[in-house]
Structure 1
């Protein structure tokens, strides 16, 4: 029978290596009122604020009816055409 002559690493070494290999995951996406949601703005475009009338998920973020989001004018037009924005 063979005998293993290597010594075991101390627990402190294990915790250090675990700390360095642990991947830090970002917090879930939060709503940002000032940031443009969806496609980026084109050159010379001003952002538009729309009020949602239906639940919408954009870039892994959920928006509920009544939420106000800032989007590009083109995206606002598409959302209106699909019925996602309130009429007011």
Structure 2
């Protein structure tokens, strides 16, 4: 029969109180970027498809960038249709 030659270590004393600091730091919220120069925003364009210009009817945030009502954006035709259907872009 095999025996274990190591001795059993005593359990750690869990009654000893250690100072515990409460960490309540929160990461600062990143500032939203202003609207960039007119580039295609939203989903990428499929190959061979030209972007269309839409005018926003309401405030909208796309990819973390705020766009105010009246902003003109270049978007893919599919995305323009979705924006118009949801009421974010004016009907042309």
* Interval of TM-score (by shorter of Structure 1 and Structure 2): 0.5 to 0.7
State the partner residue of 1:44.
48
Which whole-Å deviations, capped at 9, do the CAs of 1:12-48 have from their partners, x for residues lacking one?
Answer: xxxxxxxxxxxxxxx8533223310000000111011
Q: Is the 8 A contact 1:51 1:86 kept in 2?
A: yes
Unaligned regions of 5+ residues in structure 2, if any? 1-30
Mark the structure with the bigger radius of gyration. Answer: 2
1:80 corresponds to: 84
| CA RMSD across the alignment | 1.6
Separation (CA, whole Å) in 2 of partners of 1:65 and 1:28: 17
Looking at structure 1, the residues matched to 69 and 49 of structure 2 have their Cα atoms a distance apart, in angstroms, of: 26
Q: Which runs of 5+ in 1 are unaligned?
A: 1-26
Distance 1:56 1:28, change over 3 A: closer
* 1:41 match: secondary structure: coil
Structure with the largest fraction of helix: 1
Structure 1: which 4+ aligned runs deviate by more than 6 Å? none
**SS of the residue aligned with 1:50?**
strand
TM-score w.r.t. length of structure 1: 0.63
